[in-house]
Every structure is written in C-alpha cells, then in structure tokens.
C-alpha cells in the first residue's frame, strides 16, 4: 500500500503520513495529464480524507496510470503527482461558470459559487458583484472626459443604470438587475443577505455573462465553422 505525507485537514497535524486505500481517476486531458482522487487515512488521528492529485507537468503523457498503480507505487507517488486540494463542502457547488469568460471573471465567479455552496451568501454576493463590475467597466467610454461622470463610473449600481439607459446593455436584463440594488448593496455594506437573495444575484450574473461573453463567442465559432465548410467546397 502506498503512503503520502501531507498536512491533515481534519486534525491539523503537519507533515503526517497517510495510508492510501483507493484511487479513482477523475480527469484525463491532452496530452495525458491525469487527476486522481485518493481515499486516505491520517495516522495521527485515524480520520479519512479524499485528496486530489494531478500529474506533474514534466511527466505529462509519459505514462498512463491506473488506480492500482497509484495505490501501490509507494514513495514515488508524490514525485509524479502534485497535491491540488482535497474534497470538502466547497465541491458541492454544482454551479459551472458560463463559457468563454476572461480568466479574472471566471475566477471570481468560481469563488462566489464556492461561497454560496458553503452557506456564505454575503461573501458570494461580493464575488458576483465583482464579476459584474469587471464585466461592465470596459463597456464605458474609454475617455474619462466623456459621459458618464466619475460618480457613475465608480458606482456599480449607477453604472448599470447608465448602461441600460444608453442601450449598451439589453433591456431584457433590467428586471433581473434589480437584485443588485435591493440585495447586493445590503450584502456588501450590512452583511444581511440570505441565500435566496444571493441566488438572485447569481441568476443575474449568469444571465449578464452569458449575454456578454458566451453568446457572442458561440456565434463567432459557428461563423468560423460555416466559413470552413464553404471553403472546403470551393
């Protein structure tokens, strides 16, 4: 049976040995990177943890591992794999970000989804507001001397109102955006949001991001495929 030495997320012991009992491959991406979830027991406290290990980049595609090899490879395991976390309540999200988001917005969205999953609606609201803030700032005129004035540029609520009034955001999103005025500010300033209110903010965030990033990119890809098909027939 293999062993790994890690900090225990259950008892807090540092650099303690874990016995490995089973492994499940959960992902395999090109060129051969594998991710495994390992069921292990801490030898300090006796409790179990499911660790997530990912193949180190220098070994990508070098070999394909199976569950038995992972469990029986011994001390070499951490040479080939790096620890990227362990399974916890944060993995209950079930909420995937819209496709084709910029990295900074996707990271904020995922953090908000984790906060929502573990029952922290005010923290979730802050991250979803950040997503909206990052997405809408580039929609303003680049020249700060042009309208809107600085007060509107700085305020997310006022900025959204200006974008709607100037037809830079679809009016179909306007009703959903009310959650930002009614709930988002309360969560940011008073810490009074409920999970339902954070969920409303999530719904608006998803709708806005899909309209701004996902739908245009899908249309662009569809056009590319159409052009490629026409080119292949010429």
Per-residue pLDDT of the chain (234 residues; tens, 9 = 90+): 678 889 999 999 999 999 999 999 988 765 567 889 999 999 999 999 999 998 887 666 556 788 888 888 766 778 888 898 898 877 776 788 999 999 999 999 999 998 998 889 999 999 999 999 999 999 999 888 889 999 999 989 899 999 999 999 998 899 888 887 655 454 455 678 888 889 999 999 999 999 999 999 999 999 999 988 888 776
Within 10 A of 159 (CB to CB), how many other CB atoms are there? 22
Task: Evaluate whether 131 touches 139 at the Cβ level (below 8 Å).
Answer: no
**What residues have CB less than 8 Å from 124, skipping those under 6 apart?**
112, 113, 115, 116, 198, 201, 202
* Bridge partners for 17 per DSSP: 5
Answer left, alpha or beta for residue 25, where phi above 0 means left and psi between -120 and 50 means alpha.
Answer: beta
Measured in whole angstroms, how far is the alpha carbon of residue 165 from the centre of its chain? Answer: 31
Residue 138, burial from CB neighbour count under 10 angstroms (0-12, 13-18, 19+): exposed
Question: CA-CA distance, 84 to 52, in Å (whole number)?
Answer: 6
Name all contacts of 62-68 with Cβ < 8 Å and 24+ positions apart. Answer: 62/32, 64/28, 64/32, 64/34, 65/25, 65/34, 65/36, 66/25, 67/22, 67/23, 67/24, 67/25, 67/36
């Amino acid at each position: 049976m293999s062993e790994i030495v890690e900090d225990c997320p259950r008892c807090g012991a540092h650099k303690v040995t874990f016995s490995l009992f089973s492994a499940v491959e959960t992902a395999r991406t090109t060129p051969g990177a594998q991710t495994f979830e390992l069921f292990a027991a801490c030898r300090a406290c006796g409790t179990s943890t499911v660790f997530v290990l990912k193949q180190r980049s220098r070994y990508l595609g070098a070999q394909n591992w199976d569950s038995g090899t992972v469990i029986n490879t011994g001390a070499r395991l951490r040479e080939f794999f790096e620890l990227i976390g362990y399974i916890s309540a944060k993995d209950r999200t079930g909420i995937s970000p819209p496709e084709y988001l910029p990295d900074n917005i996707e990271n904020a969205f995922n953090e908000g989804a984790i906060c929502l999953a573990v029952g922290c609606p005010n923290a979730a609201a802050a991250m979803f507001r950040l997503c909206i803030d990052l997405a809408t700032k580039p929609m303003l005129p680049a020249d700060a001397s042009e309208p809107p004035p600085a007060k509107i540029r700085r305020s997310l609520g006022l900025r959204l109102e200006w974008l709607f009034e100037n037809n830079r955001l679809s009016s179909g999103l306007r009703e959903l955006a009310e959650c930002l005025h009614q709930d988002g500010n309360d969560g940011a300033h008073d810490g009074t949001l409920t999970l339902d209110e954070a969920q409303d903010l999530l719904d608006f965030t998803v709708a806005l991001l899909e309209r701004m990033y996902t739908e245009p990119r899908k249309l662009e890809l569809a056009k590319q495929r159409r052009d490629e098909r026409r080119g292949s027939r010429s």
